[in-house]
Amino acid sequence: MPRPLTVAAAQLGPIADDEPRASAVARMIALMEKAHRRGVELVVFPEAALTAFFPHWYMEDQAAIDRYFETEMPSAETQPLFDKARELGIAFHLGYAEIDGEHRYNTAILVGPDGTIVSKYRKVHLPGYRENEPWRPFQNLEKRYFERGNLGFPVVDALGGRVGLCICNDRRWPEVWRILGLQNAELVLLGYNTPQHDPASPAIDHLQDFHNHLSLQAGAYQNGTYVVATAKAGLEEGCEMIGGSCIVAPTGEIIAVASTRGDELVVADIDLDRCKEIRSNIFNFTAHRQPDLYTAIAEPMTAARPAPVPAK
Amino acid sequence: MPRPLTVAAAQLGPIADDEPRASAVARMIALMEKAHRRGVELVVFPEAALTAFFPHWYMEDQAAIDRYFETEMPSAETQPLFDKARELGIAFHLGYAEIDGEHRYNTAILVGPDGTIVSKYRKVHLPGYRENEPWRPFQNLEKRYFERGNLGFPVVDALGGRVGLCICNDRRWPEVWRILGLQNAELVLLGYNTPQHDPASPAIDHLQDFHNHLSLQAGAYQNGTYVVATAKAGLEEGCEMIGGSCIVAPTGEIIAVASTRGDELVVADIDLDRCKEIRSNIFNFTAHRQPDLYTAIAEPMTAARPAPVPAK
């Protein structure tokens, strides 16, 4: 029986460092109103959608760092987004930097059409490094500013299906997709802030969009799930970020994709029941997985593994 | 320091059920001689390359089934391939059905340029089912005719790098790629026999080539390894099989690909040292993997997992 749903990736262009949260929220509300006019039931906003992506620069003063974090959700500044969603009866996904006591996380929530938070995830695969590397034109300091998430990889019943969350760099790791797939995810939501330029491997900068889509498409196909993936894109405080926000079918096909690096709405009609086409056949996990042979995947990384450059 | 290697996927067109092994071997020798003229150092032949792909039909008589299996390697019929390889100084990969005592496997070997077998793999992810399903135009009976492989997922030092093996349906499972990647594979070799038509999900038959390449490209990129993947292709005993034999870079880019469904040689110059570009940065496993959170991947599949169709 079809389980139709109309979903949107609500891509954001850059957010300037001096742009107030109220402005970012207003831009998201404008996209949400547009989505409503197109019959959308779920809007996916990017990772860390309320501010500039501050891990791109180095800071030492904790008070300066904490300016980018939310201490409550909703807050006075984000309440209008929740109010608009409830008014329109639209569910939404929002990424933000979260303070919880002494702990800081890169977080995403799923908010139901009634305005209540129905799922929450804290990013596990924090990319980058911990100390300033001044030779770089911009930094990648997520490991400095965030702790590893402590909420697992959640999948919840929502919107007529099973909805999973992950964030940005998580999407490159097949382990994440599989753990969501093992929980029968049918729709995975994620946001990303991905620089066009990687100072550590500039020879493959031209492949950033390809690698983004390859990771999303493989994750979708190999787990039989839809994906809505949303970028914060464009030139933000000196760092150009890819767009390519998209909606991917459980066949791995990209069925809708952004064509700008600014604020842009990407919409698709999906049918969650189509996940079965993959999961009942080629990726019938019960019939075909061999988990007793996968133990190496969960073993600690050690220096004892063979070196990558053997003799000829 | 560059570690150049010239490799080839040696695609085979169909092998008729009444075609003798000597004919298949002669076709492979012709491709190997062509490869030699092009400076190739490693030739990858397909899965089960000596006979028609018999799991596509149902048999009960074990003697009839065993006609498709090899009891020794090399045998009198395959010795000429080993001899030619040694004469030309070319390494090769060969897939075949193997009897070992009372056990039957879907097997692949890597033979060094001196004609000695340097690695062996027995297929783990056997697709399909065990009993005849007469409604289908052809069968998929690998689970009937083969046991699950018992040699793990081998990666060996060879040809100046670390070479891993898997077979056909294994390539769709990210677990396989990761276990090869954890052993620092830099070059993964595999063969496949993949029907164009899947009677269980015909609505996505047009995506067979896409799914083949998507799986190979994701496996290559997410583990920073080259891949040489070779089809047995074309219309064989009533079953049309995809081609698309290809060589994939550790960036996930397809750098050479077949354009027929017949005997065809696909060649590329690769540099095993380029694997570092991926494995030292975005997929630096030691820096970024979180294996303590991956335990679900190695847990037994049970009926206790949540059902895929929840209430709205």
For residue B289, what is the nearest residue in chain A, using CA coordinates?
Answer: A125
Tell me which residue of B100, B217, B126, B153 sits closest to A217, measured CA to CA: B217
The band of B310, judged by pLDDT with boundaries at 50, 70 and 90, is very low
Helix ranges (DSSP H) in chain A: 21-37, 62-66, 79-88, 142-145, 174-182, 208-223, 275-279, 285-288
Helix (H) or strand (E) holding B199: none
> Best interface-test mutation with A: which of B283, B288, B299 has the largest number of A CBs within 10 A?
B288
pLDDT at B303: 57
CA atoms within 13 A on the CB side of B27: 22
pLDDT along chain A (312 residues), means of 10: 98 98 98 98 98 98 97 98 98 98 98 97 98 97 98 98 98 98 98 98 97 98 98 98 98 98 98 97 97 97 53 30
Residue B302 is predicted with a pLDDT of: 77
What pLDDT does A307 receive?
Answer: 44
Phi, psi of B111 (to 5 degrees): -110, 130
Instruction: Give the active site residue among B98, B120, B142, B168.
Output: B168
Q: Do A310 and B157 touch (CB under 8 A)?
A: yes
Q: For the segment B231-255, what is each residue's pLDDT rounded down to a tens digit?
A: 999 999 999 999 999 999 999 999 9
- Which domains does chain B show, CATH number per domain? 4-298 (3.60.110.10)
Which residues, other chains included, contact B305 with Cβ-Cβ below 8 Å and sequence gap of 6+? A182, A183, A184
pTM > 0.80: yes
The pair of structure tokens assigned to B18 is 């009444």
Q: Residue A254: beta bridge partners?
A: A248
Which residue of A lies nearest to B307 if distances are taken between CA atoms? A184
A110 closest CA partner among A228, A264, A233: A228
Residue A168 known to be catalytic = yes
A229, A256 contact by CB (below 8 A): no
d(CA B130, CA A239): 55
Tell me the C-alpha to C-alpha distance, in Å, between residue A306 and each of A295, B79, B156, B157, B279: 17, 33, 10, 10, 14
The structure tokens listed for B166 are 């898997």
- Angle formed at CA A167 by CA A163 and CA A169, multiple of 5 degrees: 135
Contacts of B298 in chain A (CB under 8 A): 291-292, 294-295, 297-298
CB A95 within 8 Å of CB A46:
yes
For residue B120, indicate whether it is catalytic.
Answer: no
**Cα separation, A284 vs A278, whole angstroms:** 7
pLDDT, mean of residues B171-175:
98
**CA–CA distance from A276 to each of A42, A172, A251, A269 (Å)?**
21, 24, 10, 17
Separation of alpha carbons A230 and A11, rounded Å: 5
Q: Fill in the DSSP letter of residue A161.
A: E
Q: Which residues partner with A105 through β-bridges?
A: A98
Please give the Cα distance from B82 to B51 (Å, whole number).
Answer: 17
Which residue from A169, A186, A296 is facing B179, i.e. has the nearest CB? A296
- Does A47 participate in catalysis according to the annotation? yes
Model confidence over B105-124: pLDDT tens digits? 999 999 999 999 999 999 99
In chain A, how long is the greatest CA-to-CA distance? 67
Confidence label for B260 from pLDDT (cuts 50, 70 and 90)? very high
Structure tokens at B262: 């017949």
Given a contact cutoff of 8 angstroms between Cβ atoms, the answer to whether A283 and B200 are in contact is no
Mean of pLDDT over chain B: 96
* End-to-end C-alpha distance for chain A, whole angstroms: 58
